[in-house]
Amino acid sequence: MHDFKRSSGGDKYPGYDVLSKWSGPSWNEKTREVIRRRLAIAPEPRFFTAEEFETVSAIAARIVPQPSTRPPIPVAALVDRKLDEGVMDGYRVPGMPRDAEAWRTGLRALEAEAQSAYQTRFAALSGERQDTLLHRAEAGELNAPEWGTLSSKDFFKKRLARDIVLAYYAHPTAWSEIGFGGPASPRGYVRLDFNERDPWEAAEADSDDDAAACWRNRHVR
């Protein structure tokens, strides 16, 4: 049995913990190996510098805010490992550098924008001011020389939002919150029509009473 802390489901899937599938028929050893590595990622940088990592952590907190009722998903570290291991999408929009260079350029430019607008680092800004800069980046309104050929709009949509959201939902804690069962290997899924679920999938709570869903979810393996 694994020795990691168990994830806790959200209100929509009460009683559901995707890690209950660990020793069941839903996952094989290859699946467990991948998940084991993901759970073992420490919240510290390998690719980013310490300051860059702090900035990415601050950005992630605005894009995917997390509840205080459970251990946080190490979003910045998941993005960091992706870049450190050279995992890329395989395509780029015009003017977009390779992923690693795009992140370094974009973070450097975002810091320049923070200094210009507020005379301090991005991570030191209030949440409201961080949101202002991120909204302006999304709209393509940031134009400091540090951006070079990279547009702030592309950086926000193709790197910040994409990489951070994908990192968040790559973690088992997020799977429990959305009722996802993890990789369908080797079991797969049988009931593929709308609003049908296999017995090994999480049940969504009814708006009036979640007791039935909670009972079902405690038996999902």
How do the domains of the chain map onto residue ranges?
Answer: 18-41+173-217, 50-168
Q: What band does 6 get if pLDDT is binned at 50, 70 and 90? A: very low
- Position 217 scores a pLDDT of 64
Burial class (CB in 10 A: 0-12, 13-18, 19+), 148: middle
User: Which parts of the chain are beta strand (E)?
Assistant: none
Residue with the bigger pLDDT between 30 and 201: it is 30
The mean pLDDT of 141-169, rounded to a whole number, is 96
Q: Where is average pLDDT lowest: 42-46, 75-79, 180-184? A: 180-184
Q: What band does 15 get if pLDDT is binned at 50, 70 and 90? A: confident
Measured between alpha carbons, how far is 90 from 92 in angstroms, rounded to an integer?
Answer: 7
Its pTM stands at 0.87
